[in-house]
Amino acid sequence: MTNIRSYKVSINTTGGAGVATGEADSVPFAGRILSVEYIPGPTSPPATTDVTAFITRDGDKDTNVETLSTFTNVSTANVKRYPKKEVDDGAGTSLAAANKTNVFAEFTTAHGIHVEVAQSDALSPAAIVEVIVEE
């Protein structure tokens, strides 16, 4: 049986107005990522706020990361994405369907996600990122 679960990551930021940064990791989880949603913190971050969610492939946020979704210049509105990646044949060549269109699949993780916020104000939290996962 497939389980659909939600995981939220709250990101606090420190620094000056418009230049504050922060990062946070999810709890460990494994599965196919179906959606990623940016949710502004309770005190509205500035319109310059950038949020990036990464897949942590080996559990180390500093190496072997793959960009899951980037939210640029977001502020007070929720933004939901359904990220996909292009599938290749193992040698790096994109797979194409019979009609020559590329094939895409959901991102997967065995470790969770890492989220970074930039160009925000010092807020706790500046942003919340929610991922919906099929485990």
Going from the N-terminus, what domains does the chain have, and what CATH number goes with each? 4-134 (2.60.120)
- Residue 10 CA to residue 28 CA, distance in Å, equals 15
- Residue 135 CA to residue 125 CA, distance in Å, equals 27
What pLDDT does residue 91 have?
A: 78
With left for phi above 0 and alpha for psi between -120 and 50, is residue 61 left, alpha or beta? Answer: alpha
What pLDDT does residue 96 have?
A: 72
* Of 130, 131, 121, the residue nearest 18 (C-alpha): 121
* Mean pLDDT across 124-128: 97
Q: What is the pTM of this model?
A: 0.89
Cα–Cα distances in angstroms (integers) from residue 59 to residues 35, 113, 120, 129, in the given order? 20, 9, 26, 18
Q: What is the pLDDT of residues 53-97, one digit of tens each?
A: 999 876 666 665 789 999 999 988 999 999 998 887 777 777 776
* Mean pLDDT across 45-57: 92
Between these two residues, 97 and 4, which has the higher pLDDT value? 4
What pLDDT does residue 98 have?
A: 62
- Residue 94 CA to residue 135 CA, distance in Å, equals 26
What pLDDT does residue 86 have?
A: 84
State the residue for tokens 């919906």: 132
What pLDDT does residue 92 have?
A: 75
Residue 41 has pLDDT above 70, yes or no: yes
Looking at the chain, the whole-number percentage of residues with pLDDT higher than 90 is 71
In this structure, the number of other CB atoms found within 10 A of the CB of residue 127 comes to 26
Assess contact for 33 and 108: CB atoms under 8 A. Answer: yes
